[in-house]
Amino acid sequence: MSDVNNEALEQAPIKLVMNQLPAIDVPFESPLHHVELAKIAEHGESQGGVVFRELSLGLLTLRCTPNAEQATSIEAILGVALPSKPLTSVSSASGELTVMWISPDEWLLQVPQDKAFELETRFFAEVGGHYSLVNVSGGNTVFELSGEDVVKVLKKSTPIDFHDSEFPVGKVVSSVFAKSGATICRTAEQSYQLVVRRSFADYLWLWLQDASKEYGLTVTC
């Protein structure tokens, strides 16, 4: 495989596109690997007002100010247009891909882990002009928080307004979260995704356990 990659490097001197997933079976350790969530899920509380799950997804940061041509080719690859309305997200029909608006020239793409390289390769082949697409799957993790008390925990953690009128399903914000940061997306009536930086994951896990304590915390896998 490495030969292939070095060839790719030679063929693609403008940008480096690299498959970062091992071809052989190698242990994968998410940022909360050491917490052993599976054990907690098995032995922990099952009726909590807050439900926690760590998702391991392929994440890519797209930075671009798309011209018409780029917008067309990007939509052709993603199957959906980049959401241009601030603080919104769109998902593909299959639900396999979600695009979150981050800033006027930045989006976060969520795909299954093994689709990240494919996406990068297609962008490289099909999107011209100035943009940058960077695989950040290892640098972040996704916490899924749900349950009837989930908003109370969020309100303890960030100054964002989570009222239905202000934070409908699909909305996404990047903000301070406790003393770290998170990109927060409402994925369903009572379900939110937090995209957090890998190195802060342990701190945020401690924070969320603490903030959920009075409502009960259920871990699922």
Partner 1 sequence: MSQKNRLQDGGRIDRSKPLTFTFNDESYQGYAGDTLASALIANGVDVIGRSFKYSRPRGFVAAGAEEPNAVVQLGATEATQIPNVRATQQSLYQGLVAASTNGWPSVETDLMGLVGKIGGKMMPPGFYYKTFMFPQSMWPTYESYIRKAAGLGRASKEKDVDIYDKMNQHTDVLVVGAGPAGLMAALSAAQGGARVIIADEQSEFGGSLLSSKETIDGKPAMEWVAQVVAELNEFDDVLMLPNSQVNGYHDHNFLTIQQHCTDQFADRAPNGAVAQRLHRVRAKWVVLATGAHERPLVFGNNDVPGCMQASAVSTYINRFGVVPGNELVLMTSNDGAYQTAIDWHDAGRHVVAIVDARKNPQGSLIDAARERGISIMVGSGLIEVQGSKRVTGVSVAPLNESGDKVTGAVAKLKADTVASSGGWSPVIHLSCHTGARPVWDDEVIGFLPGPTVQKQLTAGAINGAFTTQAALSQGIQAAADALASLGLEVTDLSLPKTEEVIQDKAMALFHIPHNKPTSKAPKQFVDYQNDVTAAGIELACREGFESIEHVKRYTAMGFGTDQGKLGNINGMAIAAKALQKSIPETGTTIFRPNYTPVTFGAIAGRDCGELFDPKRFTAMHAWHVEQGAKFEDVGQWKRPWYFPKGNETMQEALNRECLATRESVGILDASTLGKIDIQGKDAREFLGRVYTNAWAKLAVGKCRYGLMCGEDGMVFDDGVTSCLGENHFLMTTTTGGAAHVLEWLELYHQTEWPEMEVYFTSVTDHWSTMTISGPNSRKLLEKLTDDDVSKDYFAYMDWKQMTVAGVPARVFRISFTGELSFEINVQANYGMHVWKALFESGEEFNLTPYGTETMHILRAEKGFIIAGQDTDGSVHPFDLGMPWAVAMKKPFSFIGKRGMQREDCVRADRKQLVGLKTVDPTVVLPEGAQGVFDPNAPIPMPMVGHVTSSYWSACLGRSIAMGFVKGGHDKMGEKVFYPLVDGRVVEAEICQPIFLDPKGERQHV
Q: Which residues bind partner 1 (CB under 8 A)?
A: 1-2, 5-6, 9, 12-16, 18-24, 26-31, 33-34, 56, 61, 63-64, 105, 130-132, 134-140, 152, 155-156, 158-161, 163, 166, 178-180, 197-200, 202-204, 206-207, 210-211, 213-214
- Going by the DSSP 8-state scheme, the letter that residue 214 receives in this structure is T
CB 177 within 8 A of CB 158: yes
- Three-class SS state of 58: strand
The bridge status of strand 172-177 relative to strand 98-103 is unpaired
Please count the CA atoms within 13 angstroms of the CA of 214 that sit on its side-chain side. Answer: 5
Rg of the chain, C-alpha, whole Å: 19
- Which amino acid is located at 126 in the chain? E
CA dihedral 205→137→114→122, nearest 10 degrees, is 150
